[in-house]
Amino acid sequence: MRLDSKIRVIPDFPKPGISFKDITPLLQDPEYFREAIDSLAQRLSSRRFEAIVCPEARGFIFGAALAYKLNVGFVPVRKAGKLPYNTIKGEYDLEYGKDTLEIHEDAVKPGQRVVVLDDVLATGGTIKAVADLVEKVGGVVDCMAFLIELQYIGGRQNLKQYEVLSLLEMSS
């Protein structure tokens, strides 16, 4: 089963020059979605961690399913103003701008090992901000995991202090 066959490329979205990787065809096909979750779960099953931490929105799709499958907690990291309890903030650069993320101050316990997961690794800015938030609240990043890694952008270089796992590697 070739998961990459279910990734649709949208040129010039959300702005000219960006080649957006649309995962919705994969999500719409239950066999491919199951294969993606099962493959990620298999890659993570031998690791010792207690939660999966994901940024909204597409990361939630994979993170929640994986947390359920692996019987670990799920920690949402959201855009500013979306979480109801006391939060810690982190700003980061996007491929096409800046943004702010928040995590509940008690979402990860001191010393707790977590996997930080998202659907796509591009520049690494978003996931680095998530890892920084985990570490600010005392957590330990066991590894980072992605459905897709855009190798041509080089985000892995910005995450050298972490182990990075990806199911699909795209060179263009």
Asked if residue 44 lies in contact with residue 71, where contact means CB atoms within 8 angstroms, the answer is no
Q: C-alpha angle with apex 123: 118 to 127, nearest 5 degrees?
A: 35
For the chain, domain boundaries = 48-170
Asked if residue 139 lies in contact with residue 113, where contact means CB atoms within 8 angstroms, the answer is yes
- Residue in the structure block whose two tokens are 């943004």: 99
Supply the CATH classification number for the domain 48-170: 3.40.50.2020
Known active-site residue 95: yes
Rounded CA-CA distance 116/139 in Å is 11
Nearest CA-CA partner of 144 in 136, 135, 153, 156: 156
Residues 18-43 have a mean pLDDT of 96
Rounded CA-CA distance 67/114 in Å is 11
Residues 42-66 have a mean pLDDT of 96
Kindly report the number of other CB atoms within 10 A of residue 64's CB atom.
14
7 DSSP assignment: P
The 10s digit of each residue's pLDDT in 55-97 is: 999 999 999 999 999 999 999 999 999 999 999 999 887 656 6
Residues 123-134 have a mean pLDDT of 94
Judge if the upstream peptide bond of residue 84 is cis by omega within 30 degrees of 0.
no
- β-bridge partners, 113: 140
- Residue 163 Cα distances to 85, 134, 144, angstroms: 31, 15, 6
Rounded CA-CA distance 125/101 in Å is 11
* Among 43, 47, 56, 58, the one annotated catalytic: 58
What per-residue confidence (pLDDT) applies to 138? 97
* Among 95, 102, 149, 156, the one annotated catalytic: 95
Question: Half-sphere exposure of residue 142, counting CA atoms within 13 Å on the CB side?
Answer: 19
What per-residue confidence (pLDDT) applies to 151? 94
